[in-house]
């Protein structure tokens, strides 16, 4: 820890303000709470919303895990851990079970999370309606009136044109039948993990200055028509070439020498644990 | 196996940061902070303006640290500001009392208080001066100090704005003083419709290039076309903060250099015409940005379908930190999200075959 900086970088007043916004977000699941996002030494669009949540929540006894697209070793995850180490002496881990606080970009770990853990997700575009309406002034009103018809229409148009819903990541979900929520660009593979979870999910968008939450045991349903069920990504016939798992999200890779295609767990820590068994 | 999946990130980052020093260390000549601050002052002004932090010394340091990149320097100053507590808001600055170093009007030849051309590149021929390459810094400095030594100080006489005259004539609306506390965009989410104080703060901190391009689009026809610069003034203004123990008193804390612009356009006044003002104010001598700000302020008040008249479009896309942060994040790995896109694309092809 660099003694020239406050514990967890931000001044205490700013951290308190972020925690207040977080409490409000927990109280109204799926509602986007505006907050006075602070500028950090890390790029806006590089996870500053998630980092502000992490900084405002972290205490000396926490154990932190940071993952980027499933990997603990990815440059951005390493960089964020390095920043937190600059302004705290908190222990870090790669094991999902050991962590009290996990910050992630675009994945939910394969190991189910428990009721004493918080998952902080980084969000580029918090507004699920942005794809159908660019103006915040109008999307705010649409949420207030629960007017999600344009979103349903988009789903329907996709179905007519391509024979299926073609949304890849950031699949829009209804929270407790009230607010439409953007779960951040997690793959559809992870979307069902939001439903009736044990842990608290917090979403932070730094550039867009919004915080929202899915508290434990919340009903979170991906938008889907009764006769066209929601579908996850599938990897038929494929398994991880390292640990052999066939039930995880896989990264598709090419051998740099031979060009041969193979698959590997996106969650690198889960993969290592499976191999160690 | 030749492939190493995004591991070794830590070592790679450390090596990358070491390499940056290689770029800063290409010569034994030093870049003195004082020289950056005093000799690259327009660059320093731009960085301070986009950062929203007035500190020529720190701006110079930031520029030295990042090879002179404007967006990186702005980034460093903004991040530093996040560690500071905001103790005070200054009282409103009265620019009538500005100690002007330049004041021009494109609307009238003669204005109350007079025009003063001051320092400007406007009337230079843009020919590379090969003499500057070999000039002696000492000789230049001594020549300037000698010039200053023979000047006698003049008292500052407060100078009304050109628009005050037009207001008296009834050509510009006189609005009641608005003493509402300004909306602080650094501590709140901007919501729409935005109060004018939020608009002006956002424009004042906006990226210079973004704002100039928008204002240019309005001049070219994607807007109200060609406003007149009623007045442009550059100079030093005093900053004061309220005295805690007596609200009628304030404490002088220093002065800053700034540029202020008022531009005029015709506006409808129930069957007649009147004039309407756009306002621009920026740190330092960033004149084109101040003009662009005034143009865009007026376009936003006017409202309409052009990009420069769309409040949400203008106010949410001009922040240097936000635009460069989000653009640069595209360099981050997107392995999971791209895999999901591939899945979506492949499945439509498989089924429609």
DSSP state of A164: S
CA B107 from centroid of its chain's CA atoms: 24
CB contact under 8 A, A68 and B333: yes
Report which secondary-structure segment, H or E, holds B311.
helix B311-316
Closest CB from B3, B187, B333 relative to A255:
B3
> CB–CB of A151/A172 below 8 Å?
yes
Highest mean pLDDT among A239-248, B122-131, B156-165, B242-251: A239-248
So where are chain A's domains? 12-125+173-220, 234-277
Count the neighbouring beta carbons within 10 Å of the beta carbon of residue A98. Answer: 13
**A63 contact B CB<8A:** no
Smallest Cα distance from B224 to chain A, Å: 23
Percent of chain A scored above 70 by pLDDT? 100
Query: Could you identify the residue written with the tokens 């901190």?
Result: B205
> CB–CB of B208/B49 below 8 Å?
yes
CB contact under 8 A, A76 and B342: no
Range from A238-247, A257-266, B295-304 carrying the lowest mean pLDDT: A257-266
Give residue A206's pLDDT: 95
| pTM given for the model | 0.85
> CB–CB of A210/A22 below 8 Å?
no
Query: Could you identify the residue written with the tokens 């391509």?
Result: A162
**A156 contact B CB<8A:** no
Please list the helix, strand and coil fractions of chain A in percent, rounded to the nearest 5, in that order.
Answer: 30, 20, 50
Q: How confident is the model at residue A271 (pLDDT cuts 50, 70, 90)?
A: very high
Which of B83, B184, B202, B323 has the highest number of chain A CBs within 10 A, making it the mutation to test binding with A? B83
Give the mean model confidence (pLDDT) for residues B244-255: 92
Which of A45, A72, A232 has the highest number of chain B CBs within 10 A, making it the mutation to test binding with B? A45
Mean pLDDT across chain B: 91
CA B118 from centroid of its chain's CA atoms: 21
Give residue B353's pLDDT: 54
Token representation of residue B284: 């330092």
pLDDT in tens, A87-125: 999 999 999 999 999 999 999 999 999 999 999 999 999
- β-pair type (A220-222, A173-175): antiparallel
Provide DSSP, B253-296.
EEEEEEEEEEEEEEEEETTEEEEEEEEEEEETT-HHHHHHHHHH
pLDDT in tens, B54-73: 999 999 999 999 999 999 99
Q: A69 to chain B: nearest residue by CA? A: B336
> CB–CB of B282/B258 below 8 Å?
yes
Contact residues on chain B for A251, CB-CB shorter than 8 A? 5, 335-336, 339
**Strand, coil or helix: what is B84?**
coil
Q: Which residues contact A132 (CB under 8 A, 6 or more apart)?
A: A150, A151, A153, A154
Smallest Cα distance from A257 to chain B, Å: 6
Residue A271 is among the residues annotated as catalytic for this protein: yes
Contact residues on chain A for B325, CB-CB shorter than 8 A? 43-46, 48, 207
Smallest Cα distance from B129 to chain A, Å: 39
Give residue B61's pLDDT: 97
Answer yes or no: is pLDDT of B5 > 50. Answer: no
Q: How confident is the model at residue B8 (pLDDT cuts 50, 70, 90)?
A: low
Residue A259 is among the residues annotated as catalytic for this protein: no
The span from the CA of A178 to the CA of B287, in Å, is 50
Closest CB from B75, B312, B343 relative to A137:
B312
Q: How confident is the model at residue B208 (pLDDT cuts 50, 70, 90)?
A: very high
Give the mean model confidence (pLDDT) for residues A162-168: 90
pLDDT in tens, A24-54: 999 999 999 999 999 999 988 899 999 999 9
Task: Among 2.30.30.140, 3.40.50.11310, 1.10.1060.10, 3.40.50.300, name the CATH number for the domain at A12-125+173-220.
Answer: 3.40.50.11310
- β-pair type (A179-181, A173-175): antiparallel
Q: A68 to chain B: nearest residue by CA? A: B333
State the ipTM, two decimals: 0.76
- β-pair type (A250-254, A261-265): antiparallel
**A73 contact B CB<8A:** yes
DSSP state of B116: B
Give residue A266's pLDDT: 94
The span from the CA of A269 to the CA of A107, in Å, is 12
Give residue A74's pLDDT: 86
Does B193 sit behind a cis peptide bond, omega within 30 degrees of 0 on the bond before it?
yes
The residue length of chain B stands at 353
Answer yes or no: is pLDDT of B4 > 50. Answer: no
Residue B298 Cα distances to B102, B266, B293, angstroms: 23, 11, 9
Q: B314 to chain A: nearest residue by CA? A: A135
Residue A243 is among the residues annotated as catalytic for this protein: yes
Give residue B19's pLDDT: 95
Smallest Cα distance from B130 to chain A, Å: 40
Q: A235 to chain B: nearest residue by CA? A: B343
Q: What is the number of alpha carbons within 13 Å of residue A168 lying toward its C-beta?
A: 17
Give the mean model confidence (pLDDT) for residues B323-340: 91
CB contact under 8 A, B337 and A256: no
**A171 contact B CB<8A:** no
The span from the CA of B14 to the CA of B9, in Å, is 9
**A256 contact B CB<8A:** yes
Contact residues on chain B for A187, CB-CB shorter than 8 A? 336-337, 339-340
Contact residues on chain B for A43, CB-CB shorter than 8 A? 75, 324-325, 328-329
Rounded to 5°, angle at Cα A49 from B211 and A147? 80
Q: Which of A52, A55, A53, A65 is nearest to A101 (CA)?
A: A65
Smallest Cα distance from A70 to chain B, Å: 8
Partners of A65 in the β-ladder: A102
Contact residues on chain A for B84, CB-CB shorter than 8 A? 11
Answer yes or no: is pLDDT of B113 > 90. Answer: no
Give the mean model confidence (pLDDT) for residues A71-86: 90
Contact residues on chain B for A34, CB-CB shorter than 8 A? 188-189, 191
From A237, A243, A244, A259, the catalytic residue: A243
Give residue B1's pLDDT: 36
The span from the CA of B130 to the CA of B117, in Å, is 26
* Surface of A (79-108) touching B: CB under 8 A: 79, 82, 105-107
**Between chain A and chain B, how many beta carbons pairs sit less than 8 Å apart?**
170
Q: Locate the DSSP E strands across chain A.
A: 33-34, 63-68, 91-92, 101-105, 118-122, 173-175, 179-181, 200-205, 210-214, 220-222, 250-254, 261-265
Q: Which of A86, A44, A198 is nearest to B317 (CA)?
A: A44
Smallest Cα distance from A131 to chain B, Å: 15
The span from the CA of A170 to the CA of A183, in Å, is 6
The span from the CA of A167 to the CA of A187, in Å, is 10
Query: Could you identify the residue written with the tokens 């390292």?
Result: A242
Residue A87 is among the residues annotated as catalytic for this protein: no
The span from the CA of A121 to the CA of A53, in Å, is 9
- β-pair type (A261-265, B99-104): unpaired
């Amino acid at each position: 820890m660099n003694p020239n900086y406050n514990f967890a970088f931000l001044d205490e007043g700013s951290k308190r303000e972020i925690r207040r916004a977080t409490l409000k977000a927990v109280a109204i699941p799926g509602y986007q709470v505006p907050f006075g996002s602070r500028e950090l030494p890390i790029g806006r669009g590089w996870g500053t919303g998630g980092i502000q949540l992490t900084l405002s929540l972290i205490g000396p006894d926490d154990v932190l895990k940071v993952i980027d697209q499933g990997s603990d070793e990815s440059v951005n995850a390493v960089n964020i851990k390095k920043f937190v180490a600059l302004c705290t002496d908190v222990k870090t881990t790669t094991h999902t079970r050991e962590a009290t606080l996990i910050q992630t970009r675009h994945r939910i770990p394969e190991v189910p999370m428990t009721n004493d853990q918080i998952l902080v997700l980084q969000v580029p575009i918090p507004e699920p309606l942005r794809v159908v309406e660019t103006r915040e002034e109008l999307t705010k009103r649409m949420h207030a009136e629960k007017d999600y018809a344009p979103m349903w229409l988009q789903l329907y148009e996709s179905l007519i044109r391509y024979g299926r819903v073609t949304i890849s990541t950031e699949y829009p979900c209804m929270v407790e039948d009230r607010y439409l929520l953007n779960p951040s660009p997690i793959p559809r593979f992870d979307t069902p993990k939001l439903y009736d979870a044990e842990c608290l999910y917090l979403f932070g968008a730094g550039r867009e200055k919004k915080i929202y939450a899915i508290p434990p045991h919340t009903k979170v349903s991906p938008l889907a028509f009764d006769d066209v069920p929601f579908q996850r990504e599938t990897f038929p016939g494929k398994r991880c070439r390292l640990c052999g798992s066939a039930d995880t999200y896989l990264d598709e890779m090419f051998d740099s020498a031979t060009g041969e295609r193979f698959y590997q767990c996106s969650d690198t820590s889960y993969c290592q644990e499976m191999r160690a068994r | 196996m030749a492939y190493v999946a995004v591991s070794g990130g830590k070592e790679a980052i450390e090596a990358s940061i070491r390499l940056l020093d290689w770029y800063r260390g290409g010569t034994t000549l030093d870049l003195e902070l004082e020289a950056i601050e005093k000799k690259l002052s327009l660059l320093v002004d731009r960085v301070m303006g986009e950062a929203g932090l007035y500190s020529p010394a720190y701006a110079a340091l930031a520029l030295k640290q990042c090879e002179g990149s404007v967006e990186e320097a702005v980034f460093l100053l903004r991040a530093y500001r996040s560690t500071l507590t905001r103790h005070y808001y200054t009282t409103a600055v009265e620019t009538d009392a500005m100690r002007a170093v330049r004041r021009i009007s494109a609307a009238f030849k003669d204005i109350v208080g007079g025009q003063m051309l001051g320092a400007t590149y406007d009337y230079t021929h843009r020919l590379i001066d090969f003499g500057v390459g070999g000039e002696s810094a000492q000789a230049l400095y001594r020549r300037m100090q000698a010039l200053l030594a023979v000047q006698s100080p003049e008292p500052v006489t407060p100078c009304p704005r050109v628009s005050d005259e037009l207001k008296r004539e009834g050509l510009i609306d006189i609005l009641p003083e608005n003493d509402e506390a300004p909306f602080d965009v650094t501590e709140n989410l901007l919501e729409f419709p935005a109060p004018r104080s939020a608009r002006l703060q956002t424009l004042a901190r906006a990226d210079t290039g973004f704002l100039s391009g928008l204002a240019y689009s309005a001049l070219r026809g994607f807007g109200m076309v060609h406003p007149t610069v009623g007045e442009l003034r550059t100079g030093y203004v005093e900053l004061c903060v309220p005295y805690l123990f007596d609200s009628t008193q304030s404490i002088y804390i220093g002065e800053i250099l700034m540029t202020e612009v008022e531009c005029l356009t015709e506006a409808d006044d129930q069957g007649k015409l009147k004039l309407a003002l756009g306002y621009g104010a920026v740190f330092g001598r960033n004149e084109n940005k101040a003009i662009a700000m005034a143009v865009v302020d007026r376009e936003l008040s006017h409202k309409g379908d052009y990009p420069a008249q769309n409040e949400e479009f203008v106010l949410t896309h001009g922040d240097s930190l936000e635009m460069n942060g989000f653009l640069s994040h595209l360099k981050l790995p997107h392995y999971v999200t791209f895999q999901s896109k591939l899945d979506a694309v492949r499945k439509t092809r498989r089924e429609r075959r």
